[in-house]
Amino acid sequence: MATILEDSKFNPDQKLKVVGTNPVKHDGPDKVTGRAKFGADMYLPGMLFGKILRSPHAHAILKSIDTSAAEALPGVNAVATRDDFPELQAGTPGGDLSRNIMAREKVLYDGHPVAAVAATSESIARRALKLIKVEYEILPHVIDPVEAMQPGAPILHSHLRTKGVEGAQDTPTNVVERLVCEMGDVEKGFAAADFIVEGEYDSKPMHQSYIEPQGCVASASQDGQIELYCCTQGIHVFRDRIGEILKIDSAKIRVSQSEMGGGFGGKTSPYAEPVAAVLSRKSARPVKIVLTRNEVFRCTGPVSATKSKIKMGCTKDGKITAAQADLVFQTGAFTGSMFFNGPWAMFTRYALDNIHTVACEVVSNRPKVNAFRAPCVPQIVFGVEALVSEMANKVGMDQIDFRLKNAAKEGDTTVFGQTFERIGFVETLEAAKQTDHYKSKLPEGWGRGVSTGFWFNRDGDTTGSLTITPGGSVTIMVGTSDVAGSRISLSMMAAEELGVPVEKVRAILSDTAMMGNNRVTAGSRTTYSAGMVIVDSARQAIAEMCRRAAEIWGVPVEGVEFVDGAVHPSSSNVGEFEPMSIAEIAAKTSVSHGAISGHTEMNVTGAGPGFGVHLVDCEVDRGTGRVDIKRYTVIEDAGKAIHPLQVEGQYQGGAIQGVGWALNEEYIYGEDGRLQNPGFLDYRIPVASDVPMVDTVIVEVPNPRHPYGLRGVGEVPVTPTLGAVGNAIGDAIGIRPTSLPMSPPKILKLLKDAGLNTN
Amino acid sequence: MAKTHITTTVNGDEYEVLCEVDQTLLDVLRDELHLTGTKEGCSSGDCGACSVMVDGRLMCSCLVLGVEADGKSIDTIEGMADGDVLHPLQRNFLELNGLQCGICTPGILIAAKNLLERNPNPTETEIRFWLAGNLCRCTGYDKIIRSVMAAAEEMRGN
């Protein structure tokens, strides 16, 4: 049977009954009543509490660890150190992960795990940690990525040589990779330019700051099976990576997912989960570990700090002729920043012929970075959009018209080699131009910023199944995670296919044993990809119902069609038969023929790229440097909004996360290399009184590769934010900031240096 | 370590608990009574996910010791609905999508209910400042504020 991978049967004229409405999400009632179970909410009989001892040093040789006093404390059932983890080769993915989860030869950042205990209570576990004696030989450390690239900088990994550099390298380095991306001829492009603009920009790490710290319970049996309950953006990835570093067959590890209290990319890889598994194996009891907020800040996330030097040129009629960049991405103590996204996405949305970028990924003595919505893109777009606005001003064009003149369209080729199919950037820009916000007169003293953003949108391997109950209702199951409401969106697509009310459908999230592999729930891939497999499963079930009806009626299967939730004879020539609803066929045949179901696994392709435009009005206090966001509008192409309220929520949440990153959020290190603000008091994410309502415009340029035309919407809303806020501040005070976050002290300094400070 | 015996009322039910002296009310609710609707986000009073009512006062349960709950009456998210009838705040959060991941939702509902008891007709600004101690990372707050405003209007009988 042809799957939708070959033909989505997308029909722009289809009259939709469920898709595009806003039903209450089925996981909602449990979440407003306290019944929903998150990572920390699991309790098992006999369960122990695990705690992790962490390095107070940024860089040190781990000389010895003495756990004897901790082991002797009553109530302590197990202690684990590096000796309990198989030694995997340094510099391999498994070797890096293992060393990040439990330090081996050295500690590489403040907070790096060095030992763990499991005890009968949290307070005993805390006391036991204090009894562990660790001998360190402190080494010089390096925090700043550019300093880490200099000759003579402290070296984190003696095995490291730079990938992407020709010739032999005799000495170790902190530069993991040097990546060149180019198309056309930038020299020629700049020669053709009437205006050339350039700037240097920098950003600090921000943390994903999900409100739910990582929590898990691991339970190992004496025959080597491990059951793991945790909050995760990828059950199968957790299973396979834990199996890899503990040298356990994946089939012996069963990972179940809790509700997830925010992830934003930060829960795509394990931290405490393998430690809980080791402690459970050693104690033969279930072990729960819940990270504290301090641990979350010091040891998980954050995003890459960056330095960028960008140059662009355009003609006097507003055509961009060349774009060039030198980029540095800090990845923390281990590689894995996905920094290639930066050079691939930074200019993509403008149709450019000449691009040249050099990007380096650099290790330093900070926690290994993790994914965050559009990893490594927003902090680079921050600089690009400053220059785009500057060019528009030089040319004397309207900000949106300048971007429209250069906007990428179907058929344009990107620097990463993709040729765009149908995309909606032009429509998104035109919609932005029509908003009340853009047409409104800017109040005296305010500034207005415009920025655009792009994300590839991901797809990849995905599994799902659908079963019709004998009573005619529908259960669906997927192996992906639900980070913000995918279960209801998937239920809606199943309901639309089967012609039943969405209340007849219930979605559940599988564990690793119930479903085949799924790529992590990340990159705005899940509603798209899991939607594909659920629609495919529904179409299999429909085909089966048609076969059964044909059998009951004694007609060829070609004579049966499925319309509006029932099988009908496809024409009067087939015969006179009363239509049979799903419930009737299920009731008649579930016992004789087995359940009516569909099951699909596929490596989903065809995710349609997403584009957004952000409009920001701000006011800058010239006495304090504080920036007040007065008005915000997000305009973005969703392809098709399955559940518009949820799509709006993605736009609004992404924008406000970006506002926090733009104005306030950063990791602050002391001279000693220790993180000084590992808590929500000193690392301040936006609170309700900091921000205005966020207006949204959902543009719908369908992606024909999907049965309902949708595109992912989770990453794009963060990509333009930093640039939009920066441009608004620049418009308000006449100086475009170049350093993130644009916090009051930095803005005050800009104002003072320009003589604009009112104090 | 010797434990302390306390008697406390939670959502109208009386409980006797043996708690360690360094256990917070949040720990007691979750680890001893398994009322896990109250969430732990920071344990430093900065995120509001553990908001509960203690004798009618809104508090972060991570900043209250379990032993201090002796003789007190505690209200948590598990007691907000009236049987199978949701509170108007709960219903409006569902209908207007005032929650995404849902981890901050119990604390926000507890805090918002307290606001509406004190001020049945709050302005947007008053709601934003009242909820400034309840962090949400998913929504950007827009739909949370709208849900509270809609519930307030409904509860005023409009």
pLDDT tens column, A355-385: 999 999 999 999 999 999 999 999 999 999 9
Residues B113 and B49 grouped into a single domain:
no
Instruction: Write the DSSP assignment of A532-582 as a string of letters.
Output: HHHHHHHHHHHHHHHHHHHHHHTS-GGGEEEETTEEEESSTTT-----EEH
Which of B140, B86, B137, B136 minimizes the C-alpha distance to B111? B136
Residues B66 and B25 grouped into a single domain:
yes
Rg (CA), chain B: 16
Per CB-CB distance under 8 Å, the chain A contacts of B46 are 293, 679-681
CATH number for the domain that contains residue B99: 1.10.150.120
**Residues β-bridged to residue A197:** A312
- A707 contacts: CB under 8 Å, gap ≥ 6: A4, A8, A9, A10, A493, A497, A531, A532, A535
Residue in B93, B109, B132 closest to A688 by CB: B132
Per CB-CB distance under 8 Å, the chain B contacts of A665 are none
Give pLDDT, residue A1.
40
Residues B49 and B96 grouped into a single domain:
no
The yes-or-no verdict on residue A6 having pLDDT over 90 is: no
The yes-or-no verdict on residue A148 having pLDDT over 90 is: yes
The yes-or-no verdict on residue B85 having pLDDT over 70 is: yes
Closest CA in chain A for residue B142: A693
A34 and B40 within 8 Å at the Cβ level: the answer is no
In a domain, B83, yes or no: no
Sheet with B57-60, strands from edge to edge, namely: B13-19, B4-10, B73-75, B51-54, B57-60
Distance from the A170 Cα atom to the nearest Cα atom in chain B, whole angstroms: 46
A645 and B97 within 8 Å at the Cβ level: the answer is yes
Residue in B35, B105, B128 closest to A31 by CB: B105
Three-state DSSP state, A142: coil
Give pLDDT, residue A2.
40
Which of B56, B78, B100 is where one domain is finished?
B78
Task: Show the tokens assigned to A347.
Answer: 């200019």
B131 and A688 within 8 Å at the Cβ level: the answer is yes
Give pLDDT, residue A5.
52
Q: How many CB pairs under 8 A join A and B?
A: 187
Strand boundaries in A16-131, DSSP class E:
48-54, 60-66, 76-80, 106-107, 113-119
List the alpha helices (DSSP H) in A352-500. Answer: 378-395, 399-405, 425-433, 436-439, 486-498
Residue in B1, B105, B146 closest to A32 by CB: B105
Distance from the A455 Cα atom to the nearest Cα atom in chain B, whole angstroms: 19
Q: How far apart are CA B149 and CA A430, in angstroms?
A: 33
B40 and A652 within 8 Å at the Cβ level: the answer is no
Helix (H) or strand (E) holding A146: helix A145-149
Closest CA in chain B for residue A682: B46
Which of B78, B97, B122 is where one domain is finished?
B78
B140 and A653 within 8 Å at the Cβ level: the answer is yes
Question: Which of residues 86 through 105 in chain B touch A, CB cutoff 8 A?
Answer: 86, 90, 93-97, 99-105
A259 and B43 within 8 Å at the Cβ level: the answer is no
CATH number for the domain that contains residue B12: 3.10.20.30
ipTM: 0.98
B137 and A209 within 8 Å at the Cβ level: the answer is yes
In a domain, B111, yes or no: yes
Q: How far apart are CA A425 and CA A403, in angstroms?
A: 10
A485 and B78 within 8 Å at the Cβ level: the answer is no
Mutation target vs A (from B26, B103, B110; most A CBs, 10 A cutoff): B103
Which of B48, B78, B108 is where one domain is finished?
B78
The yes-or-no verdict on residue A3 having pLDDT over 70 is: no
Distance from the B157 Cα atom to the nearest Cα atom in chain A, whole angstroms: 22
A272-281 tens-digit pLDDT: 999 999 999 9
Residues B105 and B66 grouped into a single domain:
no
Residues B15 and B74 grouped into a single domain:
yes
Torsion of CA B140, B142, B147, B153, to 10 degrees: 150
Residue carrying the six token digits 């990453």? A715
Residue in B23, B36, B97 closest to A646 by CB: B97
User: Half-sphere exposure of residue A225, counting CA atoms within 13 Å on the CB side?
Assistant: 7
Question: Under CATH, which number does the domain A377-457+608-753 receive?
Answer: 3.30.365.10
Residue in A32, A123, A484 closest to B20 by CB: A123
Classify residue A571 as exposed, middle or buried by CB count within 10 Å of its CB (0-12, 13-18, 19+).
Answer: exposed
Distance from the B58 Cα atom to the nearest Cα atom in chain A, whole angstroms: 17
Answer whether A580's CB lies under 8 Å from A563's CB.
Answer: no
A625-647 tens-digit pLDDT: 999 999 999 999 999 999 999 99
CATH 3.30.365.10 at A28-36+459-604, yes or no:
yes
Cα A435 versus chain centre, distance: 29
Which of A426, A434, A439, A184 minimizes the C-alpha distance to A322? A184
Answer whether A3's CB lies under 8 Å from A536's CB.
Answer: yes
Three-state DSSP state, A372: coil
Answer whether A59's CB lies under 8 Å from A155's CB.
Answer: no
Instruction: For B61, list phi and psi in degrees, rounded to 5.
Output: -70, -15
Among A67-71, A165-169, A697-701, the range scoring the smallest mean pLDDT is A165-169
Three-state DSSP state, A426: helix
Q: How far apart are CA A320 and CA A353, in angstroms?
A: 9
Residues B52 and B93 grouped into a single domain:
no
- A188 contacts: CB under 8 Å, gap ≥ 6: A322, A354
Residues B10 and B67 grouped into a single domain:
yes
Mean pLDDT for A302-312 is: 98
Domain of residue B92: give its range: 88-155
A202-229 tens-digit pLDDT: 999 999 999 999 999 999 999 999 999 9
Mean pLDDT for A434-447 is: 97
Q: Is the peptide bond before A741 cis (omega within 30 degrees of 0)?
A: yes
Which of A698, A20, A652 minimizes the C-alpha distance to B99? A652
The answer to whether B71 faces chain A, any CB pair under 8 Å, is no
Rg (CA), chain A: 27
B127 and A688 within 8 Å at the Cβ level: the answer is yes
Per CB-CB distance under 8 Å, the chain B contacts of A483 are 101
In a domain, B50, yes or no: yes
Per CB-CB distance under 8 Å, the chain B contacts of A26 are none
Distance from the B20 Cα atom to the nearest Cα atom in chain A, whole angstroms: 9
- A578 contacts: CB under 8 Å, gap ≥ 6: none
Mean pLDDT for A247-263 is: 97
Mean pLDDT for A73-98 is: 98
Q: How far apart are CA A525 and CA A604, in angstroms?
A: 9
B107-151 tens-digit pLDDT: 999 999 999 999 999 999 999 999 999 999 999 999 999 999 999
Per CB-CB distance under 8 Å, the chain B contacts of A22 are 97
Residues B63 and B42 grouped into a single domain:
yes
Residues B9 and B71 grouped into a single domain:
yes
The answer to whether B56 faces chain A, any CB pair under 8 Å, is no
Instruction: For A51, list phi and psi in degrees, rounded to 5.
Output: -140, 150
Residues B74 and B93 grouped into a single domain:
no
Answer whether A491's CB lies under 8 Å from A507's CB.
Answer: yes
Structure confidence at residue A55 as a pLDDT band (50, 70, 90)? very high
Residue in A35, A122, A694 closest to B140 by CB: A694
Per CB-CB distance under 8 Å, the chain B contacts of A661 are none
A262 and B35 within 8 Å at the Cβ level: the answer is no
Answer whether A200's CB lies under 8 Å from A308's CB.
Answer: yes
Domain limits, CATH 3.30.365.10, in chain A: 28-36+459-604, 377-457+608-753
Q: How far apart are CA A402 and CA A385, in angstroms?
A: 12
Mutation target vs B (from A30, A32, A233; most B CBs, 10 A cutoff): A32
Closest CA in chain A for residue B88: A32
Per CB-CB distance under 8 Å, the chain A contacts of B140 are 649, 652-657, 686, 691, 694
Give pLDDT, residue A7.
83
The answer to whether B15 faces chain A, any CB pair under 8 Å, is no
Closest CA in chain B for residue A296: B42
Question: Which of residues 103 through 122 in chain B touch A, CB cutoff 8 A?
Answer: 103-106, 109
Q: How far apart are CA B39 and CA A202, in angstroms?
A: 36
The answer to whether B40 faces chain A, any CB pair under 8 Å, is yes
Per CB-CB distance under 8 Å, the chain B contacts of A292 are 43
> Distance of CA A674 to CAs A56, A280, A299, B1, Å?
7, 31, 12, 33
Residue in A24, A211, A690 closest to B137 by CB: A211
Average per-residue pLDDT for chain A: 97
Give pLDDT, residue A492.
98
The total of structural domains in chain B comes to 2
Torsion of CA A721, A723, A727, A733, to 10 degrees: 90
Distance from the A633 Cα atom to the nearest Cα atom in chain B, whole angstroms: 12
Give pLDDT, residue B84.
93
